[in-house]
Amino acid sequence: MTEYQAPIKDALFTLRQVGMLDELTKTDRFAHVDEETAASVLEEHGRFMQEVFGPTNSLGDRTPLQWSPEGVHVPDELTRAYQKFVEAGWQGLNAEEAYGGAGFPEAVFVLGAEFMISANGSLSMCPGLTTGAIDCLEEWGSEEQKETYLRKLVTGEWTGTMNLTEPQAGSDVGLATTKAVPQDDGTYRIHGTKIYISFGEHDMAENIVHLVLARTPDAPPGTKGISLFIVPKFLVNDDGTLGERNDVTCVSIEHKMGIHASPTCVLSYGDSGGAIGYLVGEEGQGMRAMFTMMNSARIAVGVQGIGLSEVAYQKAWQYAQDRRQGREVGGASKEPAPIIVHPDVRRMLLSMRSQIEAMRALAVYNAAALDLSRAIDGDDGDRWLEMAELLTPVTKAWCTDVGCELTSTAVQIFGGMGFIEESGVAQHFRDARIAPIYEGTNGIQAMDLVGRKLPMRMGGVVNDHLAEMRRTDARLAAAGEEFATIRTNLTAAVDSLTEATEWIMTNGLADPREALAGATPYLTMFGQTTGGWLLARMALGAHEQLAAGSTDRDYLSAKIVSARFYAEHYLPRVAGLLGSVRAGSADLYAVDVAGLASA
């Protein structure tokens, strides 16, 4: 079976064309990250992931985690791989330099995250959650908390979690009942149960820093009464050494469809008097602080769709060359041909390749917008922050929806062997299926897009995005006949997305149910159109390099073909979703609950 190879060349091409690296390196914040440095880091990161994380992927899928009342044992091979990750210093790639991080842009970081996810999607969740905890504490932690916890998280010596969900409180976090009782010494005693806590217990690191949402006495109902607390697995002494174990236990782990090497834990707090917790920020600010972590996590989850699609594509591409079935249509040979010569297999491979490139471009562009918002002061920085906020639900939802589709396509290319676990490709399909569910289901992302993001600046943010996509038209026209279908189909898609946006903003204002009924197809329209626009930009970049005399003609020409294939096969689907957006909510409630029964 093909071993994973990090697509470093594609990553660097995407970073140069849509990652706005030139603009970033001109800022004080990212002046130390020139193109050569970014390239060397990604090359080394990719090599590390394919050599260290990659070989553990199938083993982690097959080897059960071992739960006991004392904790969760992760297979030794994964622990050794994680320790090498810590020793190499990869955890702090995008963390603040003041606390031991490398201070690299998110646009570089998401590409490294893609390599890690492709190499081992389950194991990648541990560093991914730690990154979210780092982001949260960088913004909301006190100086004492940063010195105590942040430095160890940045090195990866300690890992982090986010504790939101409870048995009765899933996406509706305001229903959480975990209690935090203040103590005379300024700490809190935490009591409650949290479920679905990824890497909530394991033996790969010496300490786990749980970020826990809980409710203080007399707190108001709903999300306004939620506060955030640091609850370490082991208490930390004044000198930084580890003390006694805190009152938090893993009472069970889930048996899941995929991501088998990631322990998904039920954690019980306070069975022996109360777990000691430390307030982050102020009481009642818990959701604001947690959203810092969740927004980072949502982009990272979108990257899961990309990473798992990429490794599945690599296996499908190789299998299509090795597997011989049927004669080549129009060919002279009477011998069975590699299936890669058959039109439908080529269609599936190009469908995977072009959409992976579109997803990667969206994630990098989203991350670069976040970088610029942090690196530029004033109105320009604010506008980039608005763009990052607009794109985040799309990156999370569209990329994970497409990730499920593409890992399924890889199984299809394998045919019957794809349904056999030994082929290895089925694991990626199983692992990908959780991504549209967690960190806010994709339906919630769609609701966020139409309910919170479209109204930003009275619609000004989304209109800026639509206008920016239209500005590419002049460059496409100048590029000639080779770009004609890209130009025509991108224009039509932007027109359809504009029409859908106007319908939602008009009708949703009168009745929010109208907007929410069409939110999911609208998000798909948004993702498909934005992905096509970014592919067009990259194709134009390839065209300019060819015109300048680049000798890398095959690679650059393939980028143009990929963008054109996407424009011809996926951008026309945008208009087809317009009817779903405008259908409204009437039929959703035209029958009662009993009428929805199948028998």
Please identify every residue annotated as catalytic.
439
List phi, psi (to 5°) of 103.
Answer: 65, 30
SS3 459: helix
Cα atoms found within 13 Å of the Cα of residue 314, Cβ hemisphere only: 18
Bridge partners for 250 per DSSP: 267
Token pair of 201, please? Answer: 């217990």
Cα atoms found within 13 Å of the Cα of residue 102, Cβ hemisphere only: 18
Can you tell me the distance from the alpha carbon of 369 to that of 371, in angstroms, rounded to the nearest whole number?
A: 5
120-148 burial code (b ≥16 CB/10 A, e <16): bbbbbbbbbbbbbbbbbbbebbeeebbeb
Can you tell me the distance from the alpha carbon of 107 to that of 371, in angstroms, rounded to the nearest whole number?
A: 7
List phi, psi (to 5°) of 167.
Answer: -55, -35
Token pair of 266, please? Answer: 């039920």
Can you tell me the distance from the alpha carbon of 587 to that of 581, in angstroms, rounded to the nearest whole number?
A: 13
313-346 burial code (b ≥16 CB/10 A, e <16): bbbbbebbeebeeeeeeeeeeeeebbbbbbeebe
